[in-house]
Chain A
Amino acid sequence: MPDLKVMRTPRSVDIDITNNCNLRCRYCSHFSGPGDVKQDLQKEEWLSFFKELGSINIMDVVLAGGEPFIRADLKELIQGIVKNRMRFSILSNGTLITDDMAKFIYDTGRCNSVQVSIDGAGPETHDVFRGKGCFEKAVKGISFLKKHNVSVAVRVTVNKSNVGELDKIAKLLLEDLELSGFSTNAASFLGLCRENEAQVHLSVEDRTFAMEKLLQLNRKYDDSISASAGPLAEAKMWLDMEQARMENKDSLPGGGFLTACGCVNVRIGVRADGVIVPCPMLSHIELGRIVKDSLMDIWQNHPKMIEMRMRAQIPLSDFDFCAGCDYISYCTGNCTGIAYTRTGKEHQPSPDECLRRFLEEGGKLPVGS
């Protein structure tokens, strides 16, 4: 049975610091989802909240949105984080990062990384779903960050239009831009991707190709590519599951229960309107409001947080979807957010990341790995 010990407070808080963005990328996980709240909070409320976070010893804040750099008061907000003894990361489309802002971020000494989305080896691919001129601006943003020695964490969202040029993207990022690594995920059934699924979502064939290609690239580039979701993460996870099945292992860690992804044990989220949620991908679950409600109390005692953690005790054998699956003892049920957007229920395995379904639909696991 999984251990349900809970930390006194979360280590990290994921904050949609704004609901505004200068872009409308067609696979954006934010817009049109429950996190798209059509309003922003004033700086003063965030600063009060950061004071609370410091007082309960939060280590890291992740600023996302929307596009964080669209806020004119971003520097003051970052200063509020620094003043309260925390570190921060920023998730960005990169197009609004200036030389001055990059220098400011470096000078704080507290930035873990600025993540910039790059989805193509050039504008013809990157701009397809993000808009004209975005590639050039994002690369310029990266150059400012690099100039000032800010850690850059590029994220490549693998989608239907760029899956064929993953090797060119890796070359751009690792050779031309000389980054030490990058991460990948995939356009997932969240936010605007739900409306544009046919255009952006990877087919089974695309996923088969992407898994093989990303593993190859990792061999070429000494494991410089990472992933916690999407084809590379699936390739690693599914190969482990297949090996466990072939060796007739009893289970894998967390296997057989809805243990994924476990983020409710280490982090919590806040929407742009100040509503506290278990995770940005579960923004429909409203737990309270910043400053008005105690984050520590919500973290420790809110019935919904307890319920989300108890999810890890639900056996996959409870679900018809998993009946008869050879991988059931090795599977964690995968992303709760995607499970919810696909099925309308949180306490379900995510069908999108189901290995059995992938194989039944003609998908193939990577070979030669």
Chain B
Amino acid sequence: MNPNDTPIGNPLLVLREEFDDWAVLFDPDTGNGFGLNPVSVFVFNHLDGKHTLKDIYVELCENFDEVPQNAEKDIHDFVDVLLKKGYVGFEQDW
């Protein structure tokens, strides 16, 4: 994953915000759910095909207190996990 990549969340998924900004990312095709903490919810909500991972990191720092130094890497790792699950992808030019 490159800092300038602009991944996009799978539009078939359901992001169910439940308690205190925690959420479940629900795949209705499989019935699988993936728990997200508030930071992960923030990241997922910015996976719109326009924000780069770098942009997301910058906005995260603007919106959360005490963002750890390794947060940018954590964002990459998180998006990698989502990519492997098919929960995010990239817009294709045809």
Instruction: Spell out A's residues near B (CB within 8 Å).
Output: 5, 7-9, 11, 57, 59, 85-87, 109-110, 112
Q: Report which residue of A59, A109, A112 has the largest number of chain B beta carbons within 10 angstroms of its beta carbon.
A: A59
Q: Are A7 and B19 in contact (CB under 8 A)?
A: yes
Say whether B54 faces chain A, with CB atoms less than 8 Å apart: no
Name the distance in Å between B37's Cβ and chain A's nearest Cβ.
16
Chain B, Cβ-Cβ closest to A111: B31
Chain B residues within 8 Å of chain A by Cβ, number: 14
Determine if A85 and B12 form an interchain contact, defined as CB atoms under 8 angstroms apart. yes
B66 at the interface (CB under 8 A from A): no
A368 to B31: give the CA distance in the assembly, Å. Answer: 38
Further 13 A-B residue pairs, CB within 8 A, beyond A59-B33, A86-B28, A87-B31: A5-B19, A5-B20, A8-B16, A8-B17, A8-B18, A9-B16, A11-B16, A57-B14, A57-B17, A59-B24, A85-B14, A109-B29, A110-B28
In angstroms, Cα B14 to Cα A59, docked, is: 8
Interface presence of B15 (CB below 8 A): yes
Task: Pick the contact of B15: A7, A57, A109 (CB < 8 A).
Answer: A57
Among B12, B16, B29, point to the contact of A57 (Cβ < 8 A).
B16
Q: Is B42 interfacial (CB 8 A cutoff)?
A: no
Interface contact A85-B17, CB-CB below 8 Å: no
Identify the B interface with A (CB < 8 A): 12, 14-20, 24, 26, 28-29, 31, 33
- Sample (13) of A-B pairs whose CB atoms are under 8 Å apart: A5-B20, A7-B19, A8-B17, A8-B18, A8-B19, A57-B16, A57-B17, A59-B14, A59-B24, A87-B31, A109-B29, A110-B29, A112-B31
Complex-state Cα separation, A92 to B72, whole angstroms: 51
Expressed in whole angstroms, the Cα–Cα distance for A86 and B26 within the complex equals 9
Query: Shortest beta-carbon distance, B40 to chain A, in Å?
Result: 16
Chain A residues with CB below 8 A from B26, complex form: 57, 59
Across the interface, do B18 and A87 meet the contact criterion of CB distance under 8 Å? no
Distance of A5 Cα from B14 Cα, bound (Å):
22
What's the Cα separation between A59 and B13 when bound, in Å?
10
Which of B15, B17, B26 gathers the greatest number of chain A CB atoms within 10 Å? B26
Report the minimal beta-carbon distance from B9 to chain A, rounded to whole angstroms.
13
> CB distance A85 to B18 under 8 Å?
no
Using Cβ atoms and an 8 Å threshold, which residues of chain A touch B18?
A: 7-8
**Cβ–Cβ < 8 Å partners of B16 in chain A:** 8-9, 11, 57, 59
Most buried by A among B14, B18, B28: B28
Minimum C-beta distance from A60 to chain B (A): 8
Task: Give the shortest distance, in Å, between B24 (CB) and chain A (any CB).
Answer: 8
> How near does chain A come to B29, taking the closest CB pair, in angstroms?
6
How far does the alpha carbon of A121 sit from the alpha carbon of B24 in the complex, in Å?
A: 41
Inside 8 A of A5's CB, which chain B residues have their CB? 19-20
